[in-house]
Amino acid sequence: MPEFELQYPLVLMLLLPAPLFLVLRRRTRHKLPFPAMMPEMRRLRPGFWKRYYNGIFFSLVYLCLIVSLANPGYSKETVEDFIESKWLFLALDLSGSMKRPISRFSDQTLGDLALDGIRSFIDMRRSEDYIGLVAFSSYAKLLAPLTFDKDLLKTKLELVRSKNHSRIYRELGAGGGTNASEAVWLSLSAFFSMLPEENRLSVEQIAGMREFLLGEPAALLDIPQKIRHAGLGTGMAVILFTDGRIEPTIRAHERRGGLPNLVNIITLMKAVGVRFYIISVGGEVDEAVQKAMEPKAGEPTVGRIFVTSRGLDRQQIEEVYREIDILETNRNLTRITLQPRWLRRPLLVFGFGLMILHLILRSLPRLRKL
Amino acid sequence: MKPPYLFNIQLKHPPRSQMSGDWAGLDKGTGYEFWGLRKYLPGDSWSRIDWKARARSGELYVREFLKDSAYNLLLICDVSPSMHFGRKFGMLQDLVISLAYAALHSNNPCGLLLFADRVLTWHPPSAAPQQFSRIVTALEQAPVMKSRQTRLAPALNFMMNRLSSCLGVIISDFHTDLENLRGLMDAADSRLPAHELVALHVLEESEYRLTGIEDGLLTLRDMESGHQMPLDLSRKEEFNALLRAAREKNIRTLAGAGIDSAVLPVGAADIQARVNTLFARRLAARV
């Protein structure tokens, strides 16, 4: 890609009539009729500069103005913009327990209620926030990566509404289990993949971390240095919408095998500072999870658990919203753009400078045109 | 019509025509015909003292002569575009009217020739009563020419072919090439030329001197050729010197062809005196 470019090259066509303007200027210039012109007077003609400085200045100013309209760019510069945002992952439980109706008289399920909560949450968030969606039952499925497109998120949400009977809903509902830990791990992985290149983990490091997460609850975690210094924990949160019937204990781990342990994941989140909120719709949360969420002495809190009745409590969602709002903004994302160095402004300044200089010269006694 | 100026037209040479008859005028003046004697007054030329009368009477007497008359006056007027610069054409009209009046008033024929690059209008000399109005009308209806140059030689050729002898008064700004006049006016060396010519240079002030104008750059356009020339007014003195030199050269060239000149700036208060002085000076230089 050539470094020199013109933003509006066709404007240069306006240079074509320039000689015509010069000829017209010459023709329409005021001339004093005089009867006594003699060949000897030729030696009294002014010098080249005095004779043509008007035309020279006119041509230069015209050239500057036209070229500034064409706006040439002579090189590119790299511009880095930090995108200050909050990264939020919403994890929705679609397990069998979430298919229970709210009441005997309602055809709405607990899942639909959670969906309404998520929808309100998306509406309330700021436009610069990156929000991702994960739905889970026996396994987790990434519905939408981190995006600021709220319409896309809402469309994806409609895919998992019970009355729509979409394929994704049927697939996720078929399992019936509650694998919240995999959903949260998926969300964390998505955060890690969004980190700058120098902070990204290698495949081996991720596998190693996963090994730790598969271990017994409260096992000592070895967190890679890359993650520790990545500035995680500012403006990142995972919000889990569930009915509380999550199985994070060692029993569940042993029974199912190969699943990350939610308690370990909460420990990891504590260590790296990612916030974790659980909105339990009409249910209770496992004791082990509650215990893991409680801060130990001298530790910061990792998040909160909100337990709602079997109805949408907008106030609680707003409370989560407020808590997230006070989080620091995340500056891990940078937008790098190549921007040509445009010459319009310098050319315009130069053109107007020449114009002013011309006016000054024209007012000098020795150079003024009578 | 009352003439703006009162001119005293006097010939330098007597008419060459053998059939001119009595060409003496009615008034006293400088001429060849003796009129009478009068007592000497302080200021009279000593060459006019009649020494025989002094011997007879013991007092100083001077001779007086009749003024020469009987001439054909031809007014040769330049009506080229350059003569329309400023108030020059108005001045030309005043001069023509005054000269025609002076000639016709003393019963002398007067004619008119208008020229630019060629002869445009020709009225042969006549002393008829309506000649004055003919001349005035011709001048008022003078065509505005768009000629590219002024040429005097064709007009003088025309005059010489039509008139055997005359007193020609050329009224022009003389922005023309005068080099070819010497060959044309070969009679200038003659003691008694058939055609006496006088040149009246009618000029606007800016044609012989630029004053009261600030420095700057000016583009001049020749009124006849249309040529353009930028002029640096900071070299005004050089410009004035050039104009003066050109004017002096013109006068010398005309004098070389036997044509005496008087420069008449437009708006000058002493036009009448300048023209009368020219005639008187020529008479004083009579051979």
> So where are chain B's domains?
24-68, 73-284
Domain annotation for chain A: domains and CATH numbers: 5-30+40-71+343-363 (no CATH), 81-334 (3.40.50.410)
Q: Does ipTM come in above 0.95?
A: no
B222 with A34: Cβ contact below 8 A:
yes
B175 with A42: Cβ contact below 8 A:
no
- The answer to whether residue A256 scores a pLDDT higher than 70 is no
| Nearest residue of A to residue B240, measured between CA atoms | A41
| Nearest residue of A to residue B228, measured between CA atoms | A31
B231 shares contact with chain A (CB less than 8 Å): yes
B218 with A29: Cβ contact below 8 A:
no
**Each residue of A270-294: pLDDT tens digit?**
878 888 888 887 667 777 788 888 8
Task: Give the A-side interface with B, CB within 8 Å.
Answer: 29-38, 40-42, 44-47, 50-51, 365-370
What is residue B31's predicted lDDT score, i.e. its pLDDT? 67
What is residue B16's predicted lDDT score, i.e. its pLDDT? 62
Residue A368: list chain B partners with CB under 8 A: 215-217
B21 shares contact with chain A (CB less than 8 Å): no
**Each residue of A30-44: pLDDT tens digit?**
888 888 788 888 888
B207 shares contact with chain A (CB less than 8 Å): yes
Q: Hey, which residues 144-173 in chain B have their CB within 8 Å of chain A?
A: 173
Residue B238: list chain A partners with CB under 8 A: 44
Q: What is the pLDDT along chain B (287 residues), one digit of tens a residue?
A: 788 999 988 888 766 655 454 555 556 666 677 888 999 998 888 888 999 999 999 999 999 887 666 788 999 999 998 898 889 999 999 999 999 999 988 878 899 999 998 899 999 998 888 999 999 999 998 877 777 788 898 999 899 888 888 889 999 999 887 877 766 765 555 656 778 899 999 998 888 777 777 788 888 888 888 888 888 888 888 888 988 898 899 999 888 888 899 999 998 899 999 999 999 888 887 65
**Each residue of B120-147: pLDDT tens digit?**
999 999 888 899 999 999 999 887 777 7
CATH of B73-284, one of 3.40.50.410, 3.90.950.20, 3.40.50.300, 3.40.720.10: 3.40.50.410
B224 shares contact with chain A (CB less than 8 Å): yes
What is residue B187's predicted lDDT score, i.e. its pLDDT? 52
| Nearest residue of A to residue B232, measured between CA atoms | A46
Please list the residues that pair with A339 across neighbouring strands: A77
What is residue B5's predicted lDDT score, i.e. its pLDDT? 92
3-state DSSP call for residue B104? helix
